[in-house]
Structure 1
Amino acid sequence: MPMRLHFTPDDLLASRFAISPLWETQEAVRTLRRPDRHGYHPRWLRRIEATGQPLDLAPIWLLMPHRGHSPDWLGPPPIGPAASFAEEIAAVRAADPDAARAEMLTALGHTPGAADTALGRALLADPARAVRDVADLLERAWQVLVEPDWPRLRALLEADVAHHSRRLADIGLGALLGELDRRMVWANTTLTVAFHGEHERQLDGRGLVLMPSVFSWPDVIGGHDPPWQPTLVYPVRGIGGLWSGDPAAPERGRAALARLLGANRAAVLAALDESASTTALAQRLGLAPSSVSAHLIALRDAGLLTARRYGHRVLYERTPLGMALLSGGE
């Protein structure tokens, strides 16, 4: 069932890109409870485990139903295109307690029995304290889970925004929206997103915040009800090479892959640090496009790559299995 976002000419002018360290913190917390996301972040998970710093994330997790509404005040739209965590957490701390309680009640209602637990009752009984405590916990989660890696995360997110900004200049916002992810389709001033649940949204001139995300990967997430500016979070480009840190690991991985798959097929897999087309890979590797195409199909059929249409091109990127195979278990 889809989510449909209906644009006016004013919405096309008011839409913008943004990067949010607060959002990445919130989604990093969620990812710890989402095994389906773990394959995209193995080095990060090992770093978190190695720190041994205890974090009681239960209050935040309780407000994060697997399916359903999470409170908007936990992750309001970024103030600007690249707001700092300090600026964003200040907005969380400024949440109105009555509005926060209403949103918490909705969120808890999406997890059967959550509102009747001791923790759920405590959150609802004193929403002003709940806002303070959850904000403090989010700040601690930022310090432990995200801040040590923020320079590399921010670089990847900024590269994504730069890439899509260039595409925006070439083809306009309507066409760009259809390119951000294969689950998005733009037609007749309406953006339709493959989504869980049926959602209709008139943007009414407020525009749309477009936000790439690392820890939301591979999900597309729509959010924020009035008075917040509507936001659409999409998977960042280039996640395949994000967590490579040991300079020797890629070479070890390529050598092992060459023995397993053959040199050219291993080279194709290794070259996909970010998504790329057959033509781009052929030029990069100095191979015939027909040969690269055959390797890509074989790698895709083996579950090591996925393919998605991006405008008139088909782009390939590694799956978690492909990432793990390339890293050689590092």
Structure 2
Amino acid sequence: MGVLVSELRFSLADVAGVRLAVSPVNETVMSMWALASPIRYAVHLPWIDRARVTLRRPEVATRVRPLTELTWRGCPLPDFLTPAARPNVEMAEQLEQVAATPPAVVVQDLLATTPRRPLSPFGRALLADPRGLLPQLVDAVRVWYDEAIAPDWPRIRALLDADVAYRAAQLAENGAGRFFEQLHPSLRWLGDRVVSDDPFERDFDLRGRGLALNPTVFTERRVLWNLLEDSLPAGAYPVRAIGTLWEATATPSGDPLARVVGPGRAALLHLLDTGATTTDLARLAGMSAGNVSQHLAALHAAGLVGRSRQGRYVLYRNTDAAQVLLRASRGE
């Protein structure tokens, strides 16, 4: 049997309307897949261990159950639960968007998941009473974010923001065709369309609405499409450098670079392969924000660290010169 593919057809307006953003709701919802399949998502084991303890608390388990039932063991997600994200969108705003989903759309999206897996008890109840039970599902997403995602959100957000900055630069420098082919190995650009290896066979015309793309830490195999006729088309793709998300942050023992630039600045350079904010670096490196700022200023003045603004955040990232030093210190 051949590989199934989806085709997304672009007009010039659609190419111009490609946008990149981070979706807090998507990360919160899709994190349940990692919790249900720890072997498949082994890169997230440090988070999974903590999240499982959180979910065992009765008061959390009860309120999160609607979300658990809709996402357990890789269940296909109803599209209304993973809305397209705008740049700099916050969790509260996305939750309001989910809460405002018309009942007919809730029903339509739930039914679209049933060919691959039957609905859970809560899914069947939501199908019968979408207006009455949707608030319970929104509350479940909010509680899970507060309890399991928010403590690590600065770390997750820094990785996602760094990916958005990297991809935006690719799009600006190389154009849409090269951009999509570098976004994920399953994508190909054929002049006026993106062809995607996909378990769903679809031929979808974007019709001038553009395409919202968001990186995610909780998928690793393919791009997940949210393609509806009456809302902004969207896709969630695997973030770069996922292996760095939970790694230990101490400067390697005997690091030659630390003897040249000092242990504090060396530690920051080791953390800045993927980009981060001052707050993230302070937490990851165990330094005060003031010390991090002083080190970053010195590294920036030496041409080893660059900085760029992404919405409300200033992201710091190693320059090519810093990468040369890091490779030399690792003996590469």
TM-score (norm 2): 0.71
The equivalent position to 1:77 in structure 2, one of 67, 70, 84, is: 84
Structure 1 pair 83/287, CA: closer, same or farther in 2 (3 Å)?
closer
Aligned length: 267
1:31 is matched with 34
Go from structure 1 to structure 2 and tell me whether the alpha carbon gap of 1:66 and 1:199 turns closer, same or farther (over 3 Å shift): farther
Q: Which amino acid aligns with 1:176?
A: F
Structure 1 position 77, deviation (Å): 0.8
Deviation at 1:109, TM superposition (A): 4.6
Question: SS in structure 1 opposite 2:7?
Answer: strand
Matches within 5 A, 1:181-330: 181-245=184-248, 247=250, 251=252, 284-286=326-328
Report the equivalent of 2:117.
Answer: 111
Superimposed CA distance per residue, residues 32-68 of structure 1 (whole angstroms, 9 cap, x where no aligned partner): 1233442111111122234453424443344348677
Cα shift readout 1:300-327 (whole Å, capped 9, x = no counterpart): xxxxxxxxxxxxxxxxxxxxxxxxxxxx
Aligned CA RMSD, in angstroms, stands at 3.2
Instruction: Tell me the percent identity.
Output: 31
CA-to-aligned-CA distance 1:157-207 (integer Å, 9 cap, x gap):
111111111122211122111111111111212111121131211111111
Measured in 1, the distance between the counterparts of 2:176 and 2:9 equals 13
CA distance in 2, matches of 1:237, 1:68: 24
- DSSP-derived class of the 1:5 partner: strand
Partner secondary structure for residue 55 of structure 1: helix
For normalisation by structure 1, the TM-score amounts to: 0.71
Secondary structure, in 3 states, of the residue corresponding to 2:237?
Answer: strand
Q: 1:130 to 1:84 in 2, by over 3 A?
A: same
* Unmatched runs of 5 consecutive residues or more in structure 1: 255-269, 275-279, 293-330
Q: Which residue of 2 aligns with 1:60?
A: 67
* Structure 2: gaps (5+ residues): 256-269, 275-321
| Matched AA of 1:141 | W
Whole-Å Cα distance in 2 between the matches of residues 49 and 122 of structure 1? 26
Kindly state the Cα deviation for residue 19 of structure 1 after the two structures are TM-superposed.
0.7
1:241 and 1:68 map into 2 onto residues whose CA distance is 27
1:263-313 CA-to-partner distances (Å, cap 9, x unmatched) read xxxxxxx99966xxxxx987742399xx96xxxxxxxxxxxxxxxxxxxxx
In 1, Cα distance between the equivalents of 2:75 and 2:51? Answer: 27
- Give the match for residue 323 of structure 1: none
Q: Is the 8 A contact 1:17 1:211 kept in 2?
A: yes
1:240 shift after superposition: 1.3
